[in-house]
Every structure is written in C-alpha cells, then in structure tokens.
Structure 1
Amino acid sequence: MTRWEPNAGGRLEEAALELFGEHGYDQTTIEDIATRAGVTKRTFFRHYADKREVLFGGGDAFQRFFVESLAAAPAAATPLEAVAVALDAVAGAFADRHEHSARRHRIIAASAELRERELVKLAAVATALAAALRERGVPEPVAGLTAETAVVVFRSAYDRWATADGDEALPALIREALTALQALTAAPGS
C-alpha cells in the first residue's frame, strides 16, 4: 500500500503526458498511468472517466472561461470585437503553460482519436460562444459565424504557438490572426 500523497490529479496528468510522449497514446494503459503516478486504478477513475480525459478534463472550465470572457466585453462591442476580448483573455491564461501545451499538442497531433476529441471540444466552445452572442442580442447567422470564427482564430494561433519555440506569445499570435482575418474580409482597394 502506497502512502497517500496530495495532488493525485496533477500527478496522473503528468504521468500520462510522460507516458504518452514515451510510448504513444495507444500503447499507454490506465494501469501504466496509475503506476507511474503512484496511485491505484481506482484513484485514476476518481479523477478521470478514461485516459483521453487526462488531456481533455479541463474542457468545461475552458469553455466557461471563453463564455465569461465574452460576457465581460463592452456592451457596445461588435460581435468580432467581443470575441477578440474573449480570445485575448483565454490566450493570457496560457502564458506560463507553453511547455505543457506543446507536449499536449504533440500527443494529440499523433493520434486521430485525440484530434477528433479536440475538434469535438472546440465545437462545444463554438456552440457556447454562439449562445452567449445571441444573449448579447447578436442575431443568426452572425452569432454562429462569429463563434466559429473565434474558434478558428484560436486554433490557428494555438497550433502555431504550441509548435514553435515559445518566443512569440499566444495573445500576439491571436491578434495577428485577427488582423489577417480583417484583411481577408476587407473590401478590395480599401
């Protein structure tokens, strides 16, 4: 019997990231993760429903933070300005997490199952953002298009940031993506 140690969830997450990186997602078992973390399988299942959730367990909090940040945007903000406020806030939350995010990104990129799960998570964020925009009085199809655009901007910037050496900050990459989007939608000759 191992001695109880605090932060089992954090140890499980770190153990999973290490093992997924060393052996791959498919070759790593829940037993492997629990053993590396110094806990039982039962403890694993107290924290996570399955091994995917070690990588996606914070999805609800991520979605809530996006929506709460959108709600904090000024009432007079255009839909795109409002999601820009949310994007900036969410990006700021990743400031000290580049190494962790890069490791997680590599693991997800290497697995079709995990890439699919990531897309499902981001689709849920878009759905929640669209609902929040509608609550601000933004009609359809603008609410849905703006929400989907926010997710595409985040994903594009996050992918660049997570695969780079960390010299550029995620908020700067998001602003760059928003600027590119604005240039894309500008009228020719303007």
Structure 2
Amino acid sequence: MARWEPGTAERLQQAALELFASRGYEQTTATEIAQSVGLTERTFFRHFADKREVLFHGQELLQGAFLTGMDSAPAGAGALDVVIVAMHSAATEFFPAERRPHSRARQTIIDRNPALRERERHKLATLGATVAAALRDRGIGELPAVLAAESGIMVFRLAFGLWIREGEQRSLADIQTAVFGELFTLTATAAGSAADDVQQREVQR
C-alpha cells in the first residue's frame, strides 16, 4: 500500500506536468499519473478531484497570499494602492524564480486545451472577486473596489505572461511594477486628453 507522506501532492503535480507534456492532456489518466510516481489511483483522488485540478492546486494559497498582502497595506490607502501592495507580496512569496519553469510548463499545457483555458479564466475571475470583496471590507466603495481589483487581475495576467517567456530574467514583482507603469501612463494621457476636450467644448460655446 502506498504510504501517505509530505509532498505527495507536489510529486503528483510534477508527474502530471511531465505526462501531459509528453503524451498530451487528454491522453493521460489519473491512474497513469499516480503510477508514474509509485502511488495508487486512490491516493491521487485523496489530493485532487480530477486530473484537471492537478493544474490548479494551490488556488486557495494564491488567494491567501493576495489577502495577506492586502492586510499589510496601510490603513486609509487607496483601492489601487492596496492592490499593488497585495500583488507585490503575492508575487514575491508565491512566484520565486525557481518556480518559473514549472509555471511555464503548466501554462503551455493550459494554452493547448480550451477547457483548461476556461478553468484558468474562472480562477482569475474568482481571485478578482475575492480581492474586490476584501477591498469593500476595508470600507472602499463598490465601483472603486471592482475597478481596482479587475485592474490588478489584468496586470497580473499580463505580467505573468511576460514572466514565463523564455529568456525573461526579471522577477514577477518587477514586471508587475513595469506593467502598472504603462497603465498609469495610459490613464494619465487619457485623462489629459479628456480634460482638453472638455475645455475645447467650453471655449466653443
């Protein structure tokens, strides 16, 4: 009988990634994943509801990292400032450099399968809703809470895609900072253009 031991879930995850990459996601069974590391199918299902969830194990931990980061933001901080602090904390804790090859392999598998892509979108949507709820709990209004949360998830998704590119050396936290910089430049330019348009209309009246 296979022995229950620490790290079993991680062993199954790594085995699944290797099998999905070599055989294909659809062609790989939960039994084959378990057997490849000397475990039973029963042990596999103690850890994961199905083979799809191997790729999404740890979602709760990622949400927890975001929420812990939000708790560390100063009282009275603006909605987006809180999100930025949370994202920096999560990126530093949850996505160290040594995790990059694993994340790259995982994303490659997800990108090849429509059902997995939908599951990934659902994961990010759930994360965004969780962040928005936590912002509301801090006394931030509904609209700014949702805007800040959704903006953060967009930046996270774009930064993550850059972070897993071959040859990329920057940390996820640094890439997030760069992407936020681009966002702030765009919004500042748009705000300036909008103000100019309003002023021009007033002059023409």
When normalised by structure 2's length, the TM-score is: 0.87
Q: 1:98: which partner in 2?
A: 100
Which residues of structure 1 form unaligned runs of 5+? Answer: none
1:109–1:115 Cα contact (<8 Å) kept: yes
Matched position secondary structure for 1:131: helix
Q: 2:38: which partner in 1?
A: 38
Name the structure with the higher helix share: 2
Q: Which moved more, 1:180-189 or 1:166-175?
A: 180-189
Determine which structure has greater relative contact order: mean sequence separation of CA pairs < 8 Å that are 6+ residues apart, divided by chain length.
1
Q: 2:153: which partner in 1?
A: 151
Q: 1:188 aligns with which of 181, 192, 201?
A: 192
When normalised by structure 1's length, the TM-score is: 0.94
Query: Residues 77-156 of structure 1 correspond to what in structure 2 (within 5 A)?
Result: 77-93=77-93, 94-95=95-96, 96-156=98-158
Paired AA for residue 14 in structure 1:
Q
Q: Which moved more, 1:161-170 or 1:25-34?
A: 161-170
2-structure distance, mates of 1:107, 1:174: 23
Q: 2:166: which partner in 1?
A: 164
1-structure distance, mates of 2:133, 2:4: 41
Report the CA distance between 1:8 and its aligned residue.
2.0
Report the CA distance between 1:130 and its aligned residue.
0.4
Q: Which runs of 4+ in 1 moved over 3 A?
A: none
Q: 2:28: which partner in 1?
A: 28
Report the CA distance between 1:172 and its aligned residue.
1.0
Report the CA distance between 1:32 and its aligned residue.
1.1
Supply the RMSD in Å over aligned alpha carbons.
1.6
Q: How many residues align?
A: 189
Report the CA distance between 1:174 and its aligned residue.
0.2
